[in-house]
Structure formats: structure tokens, C-alpha cells
């Protein structure tokens, strides 16, 4: 009898707090960057890292507050977000349309895919001087380079989504007399949506990478310019502030895209979202 009591007491106690916390994905997601920042802080305070080149996170945070209050950071952030959004729309919309059409048209696929596949491996930023020559030094060239970077990610994902549609769905649509437009709208697009969102997530990440580089030319606004300028004038803390904001912007945009996907693609199993997240 006494044995039974002991067993039930142990069962009530359950796994230790540490085990429970480490088993929680949410906790680990928050804890890992915090631990990293703490290690960085300790290393900088203990002078294991040269704080003139790797300033302590606490001093970077202080600078972040100063730059936010002065308005410099919000202005630069606003310009970068604007360029990413406009460029993203310019790239994603034609990519989705072309991906859908090429996915359902073997002829068009055979005609255009080799050209697109050949252009794809060219580092997009290497095209920037050419784009500046064509579109000038202003905003248009930045939208175009972001658009190109986004286009390929979204296009190939959309194409993969449409090509992988089980043919029976298209056959059913045809048998029920669906027009080409209806087949696109009611079969191809919904089936490809999870792939499109994956492409959009990748495209957004690529857009940020490209815009940060593009903002080093022909502008005095944007997070990319802020990073470059801070390095040029050797104001390293400002550079870290801008780098951290770019990282947060990237993470935030991925979360926003996931939330939108959950809202629009309700039939997609949750595990799929998890995969995309990683």
C-alpha cells in the first residue's frame, strides 16, 4: 500500500522544470537568442571581444533607443520597408501569373523555362549596375532589383505547385466544363497556394538581402545605407543597430507571411507551416 502512495506521488511530480522548458519549442525559440546575447554581453564586458569592433548588446540597445527617438532609425526603416514592399509586389505578381500559366501550358513551359533557368543562377546584385544604367539612380532601380530577386523564388515555387497538382483535379474540372480561366482560379491557384507562400517567404528574405546592398548606391536613406555609412564613418554601434533591425525585419516579415498563409490556406496541415518556418 505504501508503495502505491510513493508511485502516485512521483507521477504527480512529473518531469523537471528544466525538461519541461527545453521541451517547449516556444521557450527555446526565445531563449536561444537571449543566451547568445548574454554570452556576447559577458564576452564584451570581460574584454574577450574588443568592444570597439563588437560593442556589447547593452550599448547597442542604448544606441537603438537614441536612434529611434531621434527619428533616424524609423525614417531609414520606413524607406527600406517601402522599397521591399513595392519590389516584392513587382516581382511576386508576375511570378505567380507566369508560374500558373507555364504550369498548365507544356508548350509555354518548354519555350520559356530554359531561359528563366539560365538567368536564375546569376547573382541578382551583379545586375544592379546594369539596372541603374537602364532605370537610373532613383527608386525605380531599387524596386526593379528587389522585384527580380523575388520573381525567381516565387516563380519556381508556383511552377512546382502547379506541376505537382494531381491530374485528376484538372480532369474533373475539364469534365465539368470549366473554362481555362476557371481551371486557373479554382484548381491551379488554390492547389499551388502553399507553394506560392513558401516562395513568397523565400522571396521576402531575398528581397531584404538585395535591398540592403542596393541601398548602398545612389541613396542616403534606408537601412542598407545606414549600415554602409556607419561602417564608412567607423560608427560601429550604429552599424550593429541597423543589422539587428534588418534581422528583426526579416523575422517579422516571415511571421507575417505565415499568419497570412494560415488565414488563406486553411486546408494546409500545420506541419507544413512548421517546415516552412525552419
What DSSP element (H or E) covers 146? helix 139-163
Per rule CB under 8 A, is residue 179 in the interface with another protein? no
Cβ contact 119:158 at 8 Å: no
Burial group, residue 127, by CB count within 10 angstroms (0-12, 13-18, 19+): middle
Cβ contact 152:94 at 8 Å: no
Number of helices followed by number of strands (H, E) in the chain: 14, 0
Work out which of 53, 176, 181, 267 binds another protein, going by CB under 8 A: 53
Output 113 or 229, the one with its CB closest to another protein. Answer: 229
Per rule CB under 8 A, is residue 268 in the interface with another protein? no
Cβ contact 246:208 at 8 Å: yes
Per rule CB under 8 A, is residue 52 in the interface with another protein? yes
* Shortest reach from residue 236's CB to another protein, in Å: 8
Half-sphere exposure of 116 (CA within 13 A, CB side): 19
Per rule CB under 8 A, is residue 137 in the interface with another protein? yes
How many whole angstroms separate alpha carbon 87 and alpha carbon 196?
A: 17
Output 63 or 261, the one with its CB closest to another protein. Answer: 63
Output 36 or 233, the one with its CB closest to another protein. Answer: 233
Output 100 or 237, the one with its CB closest to another protein. Answer: 237
Residues 194-233: x/- map of binding to another protein (CB under 8 A)?
Answer: ------------------------x-x----x--xx-xxx
Output 161 or 222, the one with its CB closest to another protein. Answer: 222
Interacting residue ranges for another protein, rule: CB under 8 A? 52-53, 136-137, 218, 220, 225, 228-229, 231-235
Amino acid at each position: 500500500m505504501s508503495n502505491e502512495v510513493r508511485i502516485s506521488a512521483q507521477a504527480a511530480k512529473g518531469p523537471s522544470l528544466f525538461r519541461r522548458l527545453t521541451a517547449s519549442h516556444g521557450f527555446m525559440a526565445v531563449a536561444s537568442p537571449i543566451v547568445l546575447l548574454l554570452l556576447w554581453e559577458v564576452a564584451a564586458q570581460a574584454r574577450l571581444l574588443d568592444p570597439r569592433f563588437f560593442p556589447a548588446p547593452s550599448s547597442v540597445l542604448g544606441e537603438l533607443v537614441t536612434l529611434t527617438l531621434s527619428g533616424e532609425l524609423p525614417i531609414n526603416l520606413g524607406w527600406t520597408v517601402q522599397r521591399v514592399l513595392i519590389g516584392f509586389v513587382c516581382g511576386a505578381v508576375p511570378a505567380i501569373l507566369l508560374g500558373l500559366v507555364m504550369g498548365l501550358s507544356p508548350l509555354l513551359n518548354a519555350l520559356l523555362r530554359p531561359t528563366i533557368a539560365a538567368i536564375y543562377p546569376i547573382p541578382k546584385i551583379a545586375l544592379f549596375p546594369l539596372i541603374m544604367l537602364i532605370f537610373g539612380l532613383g527608386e525605380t532601380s531599387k524596386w526593379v532589383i528587389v522585384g527580380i530577386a523575388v520573381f525567381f523564388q516565387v516563380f519556381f515555387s508556383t511552377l512546382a505547385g502547379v506541376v505537382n497538382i494531381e491530374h485528376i483535379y484538372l480532369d474533373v474540372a475539364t469534365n465539368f466544363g470549366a473554362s481555362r480561366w476557371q481551371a486557373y482560379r479554382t484548381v491551379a491557384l488554390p492547389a499551388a497556394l502553399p507553394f506560392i507562400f513558401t516562395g513568397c517567404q523565400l522571396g521576402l528574405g531575398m528581397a531584404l538581402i538585395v535591398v540592403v546592398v542596393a541601398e548602398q548606391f545612389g541613396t542616403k536613406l534606408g537601412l542598407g545605407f545606414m549600415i554602409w555609412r556607419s561602417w564608412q564613418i567607423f560608427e560601429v554601434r550604429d552599424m550593429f543597430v541597423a543589422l539587428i533591425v534588418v534581422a528583426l525585419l526579416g523575422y517579422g516579415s516571415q511571421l507575417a507571411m505565415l499568419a497570412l498563409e494560415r488565414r488563406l490556406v486553411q486546408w494546409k496541415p500545420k506541419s507544413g507551416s512548421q517546415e516552412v518556418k525552419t
